Amino acid sequence: GFLPLQGHIVRNWKVRWFVLLQDKLLYYKIEGGKKEPFPKGRILLDGCTITCPCLEYENRPLLIKLKTKTNTDYFLECCSREERDSWALDITGAIHAGHPVQVQELHRMKNSFKLLENISLHHIVERMYDSSTGIKLTRNLDQGNRYKETFTGSALVDWLISNSFAVSRFEAVTLASMLMDENFIRPVGVRSTEATRSSDPSEKFLDDSTALYMFAESSKKNTSSKEEVHFNISELSGKIVKQGFLVKQGHKRKNWKVRKFVLRADPAFLHYYDPTKEENKPVGGFSLRGCLVSALEDNGVPAGVKGNVQGNLFKIITKNDIHYYIQASSKAERVQWIEAIKPLT
């Protein structure tokens, strides 16, 4: 599948097509809408260590870090927590292929706690922000540094249990860790920050009255640039139905670029992002009301499509008669996207 990868020499991000084998992770360039025949590079998994979640980049909370036995670091970014955990589990399985007990333990840990189906992390954060029933924010002092609008680890655990988001302190810690993994909250102060470096996922968030945390948004400067008004806030407020990497043909130059697509409902919009950029804002999007979506045949190049494309194409025509040509990574993925989009049109 597609994953953004950070370069070693120029520290920019490029989207590559990754293929996981028994002992290595290969990655390929996409040129003209088609995967190149030979890999651009490879990551040898023998002696490799994996860090997931990796919190080294504040603006990229869904990272996986791989360190080879020659101490080369690779940073890979995923679209969602589920995709990240799936990649991490499969890569870890390949690393420990000769140690089935470790792989079984990973599966057990992954399935030990599941978020209730009718609760989203976004909903929890909204409740935390509530002025009357949300978590109480206080000023705190940590080793001479003053922090505004913070809360302690134990206070968050208490709040999650009292609001019925968790039934035990273990579940509340796991849930708080998810909030930190997804960059909704972040550690501040020495104690909580040092805990994030723990190799044990269960020890990254501290159920402690001396460990300080704050909303991640509170640490960012409030900006009101003109670029941000291009997209109405209501467009981006809908529930995320599906997200993933797809290849899109440009409208002017007709070149093909990998974009992160996010499908939202209520209101129904499809937005796309440039995964190589640091800022997490759409580079395009449109309302799905009145749209037509259909698969395109893979035999030959359909009219309107430029380049020697890989296949698995589908087309969306907006009510303003704008045509979007998009490639999925497989026929199955194309079907999934079409079936997810159709009810919202």
Query: Across the strands, what pairs with 30?
Result: 35
Q: How many domains does the chain have?
A: 3
Q: What is the pLDDT of residue 224?
A: 39
Q: What is the pLDDT of residue 305?
A: 80
9 lies in the same domain as 88: yes
Residue where a domain stops, chosen among 191, 220, 249: 220
171 lies in the same domain as 263: no
Q: What is the β-pairing status of strands 30-31 and 13-20?
A: unpaired
Q: What is the pLDDT of residue 199?
A: 60
* Residue 225, domain member (yes or no): no
176 lies in the same domain as 103: no
Q: What is the pLDDT of residue 109?
A: 52
- pLDDT, tens digit only, all 345 positions of the chain: 999 998 776 778 999 999 999 889 999 988 877 888 899 999 999 889 998 878 788 778 889 999 998 999 999 999 888 888 889 989 998 888 755 555 555 555 555 555 554 567 788 888 899 888 899 998 887 766 788 889 999 999 999 988 888 888 888 888 898 888 777 898 988 888 888 876 666 678 898 888 899 998 754 444 333 334 356 677 878 888 999 999 999 877 788 899 999 999 989 999 999 998 877 788 889 999 999 999 988 666 677 787 767 788 999 999 999 999 999 988 999 999 999 999 999
Q: Which two tokens stand for residue 69?
A: 């036995």
Residue where a domain stops, chosen among 110, 129, 155: 110
* Residue 61, domain member (yes or no): yes
- This model's pTM is above 0.85: no
CATH of the domain at 164: 1.10.10.10
Q: What is the pLDDT of residue 227?
A: 39
State which residues form the domain around 203.
121-220
Single out the residue of 218, 207, 201 nearest to residue 55, CA to CA: 201
237 lies in the same domain as 337: yes
* Chain centroid, CA 294 distance in Å: 27
136 lies in the same domain as 102: no
Confirm if 252 and 284 have CB atoms less than 8 A apart.
no
* Residue 82, domain member (yes or no): yes
CATH of the domain at 104: 2.30.29.30
* Residue 227, domain member (yes or no): no
Q: What is the pLDDT of residue 66?
A: 93
Q: What is the pLDDT of residue 335?
A: 95
Q: What is the pLDDT of residue 35?
A: 84
125 lies in the same domain as 106: no
* Residue 59, domain member (yes or no): yes
Residue where a domain stops, chosen among 194, 220, 246: 220
Cis-peptide, bond into residue 53, ω within 30° of zero = yes
94 lies in the same domain as 6: yes
Q: What is the pLDDT of residue 264?
A: 92
Q: CA 132, CA 112: separation in Å to the nearest integer?
A: 33
268 lies in the same domain as 332: yes
279 lies in the same domain as 312: yes
132 lies in the same domain as 167: yes
Q: What is the pLDDT of residue 113?
A: 52
82 lies in the same domain as 133: no
* Residue 115, domain member (yes or no): no
Q: CA 170, CA 297: separation in Å to the nearest integer?
A: 51
* Residue 200, domain member (yes or no): yes
130 lies in the same domain as 106: no
